[in-house]
Each structure stands twice: as C-alpha cells, then as structure tokens.
Amino acid sequence: MIWRALFRLVLVRVDAETAHRLGTVPLRLAGRLPGLARLLGPRDPRLQVRAFGLTFPSPVGLAAGFDKDAELVDGLLALGFGSVEVGTVTAEGQPGNPRPRLVRLPADRALVNRMGFNNRGAAVAEGRLRARRRTGAVVGVNLGKTKLATDAVADYVASARRLAPLADYVVLNVSSPNTPGLRDLQAVAQLGELVRAVRPVLDGRPLLVKIAPDLSDEDVDAVAELALAERLDGIIATNTTITRDGLRSTAAEVEAAGAGGLSGAPVAARSLEVLRRLRARVGEEVVLVSVGGIETPQDAWDRLQAGATLVQAYTGFVYGGPLWPCKMHRGLSRRLDAAGLGSVAEITQKAGKFAP
C-alpha cells in the first residue's frame, strides 16, 4: 500500500526514465547489505528450479531491460529475484533514441518503451560483471544488435565473446521493435545462422533466443522447429508488442505515448498463447521462459501450468515495487500448499500433457 501511494502521488508525476534513474540509488545500497537477500529472498525450498544445468532458487526472475549496463545486479538479487538478466547489451555503446522514450499507461498497468538499446556497450558491462562479487546467483546476459552495425552476426559474436565467460546463460534478443531491421532476424534462416555463429564462443553456456508476441502462429511454430533442430537451450517468450488493441487508456493517451514496444498487462494473453503453442511443439526438450504481463502469483502459476519452467517480469516489478519478488514467492508457496504439491516442478506434471 505504501508503494502504491508513493507511485500514485509522486512517481507518476516524474518522467518514467528519470524515476528509474532515481531508483538506482537505493538499489545500489541494497546490493551492499549482505543480510537483505536472506531477509527478502525465497525461503521455500519447493520454489527451487533446475533449468539448463543451473539451479534457480525461484522461478521468478527479472527480465532484461531494467539493468541495461549491469549496474544493479547485486541490489536486484538482494530484493529476492531468483535470477537477473542484464542488458540488452550491444557490442558498441550507443545513446538510444531521443527522450522521452519510456512512457507509462497506468490505466493499463503498461509501459511504452522506445529506448533503442541505450547502453554503454559490451566492454563496460564486462568490467562491471567482472568486478561484482560472485554469490552463486543466476545472472544472464541479453545481447542485441548495435544500431549502426552492418554485419549483425559479427556484432552479436563480438558481444558474446566478451560477456559469455561472465554469464550463466546468454540470450539473443532478436525481437525488440526499436532497432530497425532487428525483428527480421527472427526469420528462421537468419536466426539459424546467428545461433550457429554465436554458439562456438559460448564455451558450453546455455543459449536462448527471445521472440516477439507479434509473430504469426506459423512463425512461432517455425521457431520451435528451429529450437529443436539447433538444440537451443531455451526460448524466452515474449518481448514487447507493437499492437495497441484493447487498451483502457484513452485514445489521446495512447497517441501521446507514441511508438515503441508495449509491455505489461496488455501483452499477457498473447504471451500465454505463444507459450502454450511453443510447449506443445517442443515438448520437454527446450526450456521455456515466459514473460509478458506477469503481475501476480496467479499469473506466474498460470504460466507454469502452461509449460513455462521459469517466468520473468519487468513492468510488473515497476508497478509492484521493491517487495514485489517477495510477494510473488509467498503467493506461489501458498498455491503449492493449496495444491498439495512438493515443488514447482510438479505444477506442470499435475497440469498434464500439453495440448496444441
């Protein structure tokens, strides 16, 4: 309630990107408080998940986009996230698109983001990841294409070569709508080429791809087939959407928000559809990470029942506040109690076989 009041009375009056930068100050402090993670982190051993050879203390992770430059990893882990995915990081630093480029739509509990992969580049992220204290927590790195790069594959490879040794897993982000031509890399031929080029520099680390909710069902099926053929470790579904259907915000508010990727509650239904479609086609061979409109423990529970091994959030955390991960863990534990289940892994078993 305190966070909701602060958000409604103060933060909504501040530009969203400025509010984010102000929030980094307490997060840096949180990373220096060794007891905070024990206080807020997942305590229920039933929440522990094994995925692509890694142990996650909880299935609830922070999606890429919040910590683009690996500045806040320890602070975010201290809040209790089961994993943190930094980035999107590009090979070369770039300023991104002009401000304003991050806009709230509170009536929809959504954000419009046209940041344009603003970050300081792979070398800076490498230095920060190398300097942070290693705690055994799971930290992934999300890679994107430098806007001015003429050879996308070489650009991704350069980032992966720098950052893979410091990552627990690597994600190829080919689904942001804010870098011209990036989504073309979701086409199976191009995505296959990219996967085959990046994998040799990962030294065996898990490789995932992140796809858009705006793919047609046929294209989702093609990505699933590619994941099986190329033995991808995982798929993250989904990124933001360019659609604006069914919003509660007024037409004037939506127009004022402008172009960019829409995240939050409006993406939930399509993200769940894509998750179910992927799971029906890849079976248990590929780890699926569900993201898009996850706000409540019930949202996470529904994704786990639909076949997700892990879930991630960004917008839900922005609207939910610093105690959001802790609330998610408590809610999942209560649902395990009610269902009489001994672990998160049993959720999908109880849900039964996945239907197309």
Query: pLDDT tens digit string along 128-139?
Result: 999 986 677 899
Mean residue pLDDT across the chain: 90
| Confidence (pLDDT) at 4 | 61
pLDDT at res. 243: 93
Confidence of residue 187 (pLDDT cuts 50, 70, 90): confident
Residue 355, pLDDT > 50, answer no
**How does 175-193 read in b/e, with b if 16+ C-beta sit within 10 Å?**
bbbbbeebbebbeeeebee
Q: What pLDDT is recorded for position 132?
A: 84
List, in order, residues 6 or more apart from 169 with CB less than 8 Å away. 52, 54, 138, 140, 141, 205, 206, 207, 208, 233, 234
Residue positions annotated with a catalytic role: 176
Task: For 82-101, write each residue's pLDDT tens digit.
Answer: 999 998 999 999 999 999 99
Cis amide bond preceding 213, omega within 30? no
Q: Is 119 annotated as a binding residue?
A: no
Whole-angstrom Cα Rg for the chain: 19
* Cβ(115)–Cβ(97) below 8 Å: yes
**Which has the higher per-residue pLDDT, 156 or 182?**
156
296 is in an annotated binding site: no
Whether pTM exceeds 0.85:
yes
Is 135 known to sit in a ligand binding site?
A: no
- Give per-residue pLDDT as tens, 317-339: 999 989 999 999 999 999 999 99
Q: Residue 186: what pLDDT?
A: 75
- With 60 as the cut, is the pLDDT of residue 67 above it? yes
For 2-351, CATH number?
3.20.20.70
328 has binding-site annotation? no
Confirm whether residue 179 is marked as ligand binding: no
Flag whether 117 is marked binding.
yes
